[in-house]
Every structure is written in structure tokens, then in C-alpha cells.
Amino acid sequence: MNRLLDFRKPLILASASPRRRQLLSQLNLEFEVRVARIDEEKLARGLQPRDYVMKLAQSKAAAIARDAGDAWVIGADTIVVLDNNIINKPADADEACAMLRRLSGRTHQVYSGFAIIDAGTGASLADYRRTDVEFRELDEDEIRDYVAGGSPLDKAGAYGIQDDFGAVFVREVRGCYYNVVGLPLELLYRRLRECLTTGITAE
């Protein structure tokens, strides 16, 4: 148990992502996982990337907070952005290959947003972080072999940087590495400590 993050009330992660679950566990927190079902495309249509991830994170957390009693709820969302176009999870293998071809030899941005809601009071805040990721030039056989393994199909941008062959596509990361995995861990930790000190206050 992390004595610096002692909430004295239940903590819920509103995410199905095993990667976010693992990252939050690194803070030595006890938490429950509940999956929020929301219409992401409808909620975030037309928003800029930073607003997109914070809006969806807030919506996921709010969906769980409605039945969470006096718990604190954390929601999160991650997207890949190339040339100001948002790239989410691929629908199938062909789309995953197409995404990786677009990212090949280019620098893209990864945005991860999170929201914290006190279900007991309704108070909430949201924040985000951006990381630049540079890909080397990818060979077609690399792309097809990677996609055939199935790993890219549940990941924004069709690749994973952690414990995954997709890591060898990445030449350089500029910014928070954990943000690319799915949760800006340092920023979340600071915000949680601030919330415990001053309460949840939206900026």
C-alpha cells in the first residue's frame, strides 16, 4: 500500500486495458477494475486531440461513478495523431497494416488523458500529456508479420511499445514513455497527491 496515496476510500479504474491496470499497480495502490461502455465516436467527434482524450476519460469515469458510492474513479483514453488526424484502434488486419504504413518513417504524437472523479461529491478533474514518437522506415514483411500476430488490433495506432514486437519500430521517444503505454504515470501520481491534499478541483 502506498502511504503517500492513502485515499481511505475505494479506488476504481474505469478501463479494460491490462496495460493501464499494470501501470496503476506500479503506484502500489489497491483498486478495483470496472469497464465503462460509452459511444466514443459520438462523444468526441470534432474535438482537438487534447480535448478528445480528456473528454473520453471523463465520460468513462463518469459512467462508472454513477454507481460507485463513495469511491474515487479514474478514467483514461489514449490516441495516436499523425498530421493532425486522430488514429484509434484498427477495425481489422488490413486497417492495422495501413496505419503502420502511414506511421513508417514519420514522427507522430501520442495523447493520453485521464480524469479523476470523487463519486461521493461529483467533483472531478481531467488532464493529459503528449509524447512524440518517431518510427524508423518499416519493411512490408515486418508490418504484415506483426499484424498477423494479432497484437496490434487492440491498440491505438496499431502498435504497442511495451512487451511487444512493435517496440522495434520506434527510433525515438520524446516525452513520457508511459504516456505511450497508456497512462502518464508521473502526471497522474502528482495529480492524485494534489487531490488528497486540496481535494479535487477542476482547472
Quick check: 63 pLDDT over 70? Answer: yes
Averaged confidence pLDDT in the chain: 91
Residue 73's alpha-carbon distances to 10, 26, 119, in angstroms, are: 9, 17, 7
Domain for residue 64, yes or no? yes
| CATH at residue 72 | 3.90.950.10
Q: Which three cell numbers stand for residue 196?
A: 488528497
- The catalytic site residues sit at 77
Helix (H) or strand (E) holding 19: helix 18-25
Domain for residue 203, yes or no? no
pLDDT digit string, tens, across residues 177-199: 999 999 999 999 999 999 888 87
> Which pLDDT score, from 0 to 100, does residue 203 have?
54
Domain count, the chain: 1
What range does the domain containing 175 cover? 3-198
Quick check: 72 pLDDT over 70? Answer: yes
What number of helices (H) and strands (E) belong to the chain? 7, 7
User: Which DSSP symbol is given to 136?
Assistant: P
Pairing mode, strands 170-174 and 124-135: antiparallel
Pairing mode, strands 85-87 and 72-82: antiparallel
> Which pLDDT score, from 0 to 100, does residue 68 have?
92
